[in-house]
Amino acid sequence: PAVLYGGVGPAQPLIVDPKIITAILHSESGENTLFSLKIDSTGLVPGRVIIKEHQVDPITDVLTHADFMRIAMDKVIRVQVMVHTVGVSRGVKLQGGILDHPLREVVVECLPGDIPERIDVDITELDLGKSFRVSDLVAPTGVKILTDPHMPVVAVVAPTIEKVVTPAEGAVVAEAPAE
């Protein structure tokens, strides 16, 4: 089951082939793929649509529902775009740090035809203790990043060592009561 809404016209319930929608979701642009939708009873939906939401069965990993939104190609929309790291960080390679990538998507605003597949960030010069923030990302022409500019996207952090606490010599260790 699916539903088509937005733009001109009322919401319309649909039944779609989950294999086709899954293929779109696993494509390079994923949920941000613009495509045409053909409805058997009425023909081609005017304009383009985008997958706004989808639900997947947590056990079988099969698509169970999708929401399609009609898109006007001349109106700005907001979507989430993946942030992709490029290269190997100097802080990881030479300084023994660990790459932390807490923010994997950013919210952008742009015309539908300008939606980037992803935003790349070159981390080769990133040293131990340093980070890239949203404000350091370079958005493609026509794309405005709306995510908080102070949020860290990628950082190189020092590894932490977890100390194992052993009982002091001569200390009394409590025993579990016998049954």
Query: pTM (2 decimals)?
Result: 0.77
- Return the SS3 of 40: coil
For residues 127 and 30, give the distance between their C-alpha atoms in angstroms, rounded to a whole number.
32
pLDDT for residue 162:
73
* Local structure of residue 8 (DSSP, 8 states): S
**Residue 18, number of CB atoms within 10 A of its CB:** 18
CA 40 to chain CA centroid, nearest Å = 32
pLDDT for residue 46:
74
For residues 1 and 53, give the distance between their C-alpha atoms in angstroms, rounded to a whole number.
12
**Residue 144, number of CB atoms within 10 A of its CB:** 11
What is the full per-residue pLDDT of the chain (179 aa) written as tens digits?
Answer: 999 998 878 898 999 999 999 999 999 888 899 998 888 777 777 779 999 999 999 999 999 999 999 999 999 999 999 999 999 999 999 998 999 999 999 999 999 999 999 999 999 999 999 999 999 999 999 999 999 999 999 999 998 877 777 666 656 555 656 66
For residues 116 and 151, give the distance between their C-alpha atoms in angstroms, rounded to a whole number.
20
- Give me Rg for the CA atoms of the chain: 24
**Residue 68, number of CB atoms within 10 A of its CB:** 24
Two structure tokens written together for 71: 């898109």
pLDDT for residue 41:
72
Please report, for residues 3, 63, 125, 154, the alpha-carbon distance to residue 55 in angstroms, rounded to integers and kept in the order given: 12, 6, 39, 29
- Residue 46: closest CA among 34, 57, 36: 36
Q: Quickly tell me which residue has 């016209």 as its tokens.
A: 9
- Return the SS3 of 125: coil
Q: Are 115 and 29 in contact (CB under 8 A)?
A: yes
CA 28 to chain CA centroid, nearest Å = 12
Phi and psi torsions of 114, nearest 5°: -100, 5
